[in-house]
Amino acid sequence: MSFPAGHLSEHPLPSGIVGALGLGGYQLLADIAGVGAGRLGAHAFLLVAADADPNLPDAGTHMSLHQTRLRDEAEASAFVQLAAQLGYLRLSGYRLALERSGLRSKVAVVNPATGAIAITIPDKHPGRLLGAGVNAARLLAAVRALPPAGAPPDLQNAELMRQVLLALALQDDSLSGAQAAEVADRALALMQGRAELDAPAAIEAAKGGGG
């Protein structure tokens, strides 16, 4: 399923979840293909819009990997990068299957070619004592190691291509969200003028101000 740019802005977490967890007024840090990162103070979490299901017409937006106590800004950055990579995988063909777990949801990253679950994102961070093997940074490394699911996104679709480029730009922790958006816009203009550029090369050229 294709999610337009800004989907999570227009489809925030249900008010019941926001109220129960005390997350009113959370900030949306990333929004790629219906996957994003949210933050409010020391809280950080992933947001994932469910694929359309005729049996669940109001499936809505889910929360996953909820961490209530960020240790530092590097942890917050890892949530943004993880959301961007999950959005990129969804754009490239992977499916994100959601399973409710109370107020939060587990996310299974499913390879459509095999039907196998490649990685599962837990509903919440298990904490320092129990979470030695699970945090946003480790999950990011595992997700980045996944092979492509299929053919690359349609390069002729400018909106889709911009989401791909934004996903790649947001994975650079030296760029702020606003800078990543600017880099994605420059990269899209470069690709439209130079057919030989692929998305990663266009991002690198745009970061360097190249033309």
Tell me 152's DSSP state: P
Tell me, yes or no, if the pTM score tops 0.75.
yes
pLDDT, tens only, 140-182:
999 999 987 766 666 678 888 899 999 999 988 888 888 999 9
pLDDT, tens only, 68-117:
999 888 899 999 999 999 999 998 889 999 999 999 999 999 988 888 99
pLDDT, tens only, 60-77:
899 999 999 998 888 999
Backbone angles phi, psi at 97, to 5 degrees: -95, 130
* Radius of gyration for the chain, computed over Cα atoms and rounded to the nearest angstrom: 17
In this prediction, residue 175 carries a pLDDT of 87
CA distance 169 to 87: 12
pLDDT band at 52 (very low <50, low <70, confident <90, very high): confident
3-state secondary structure of 175: coil
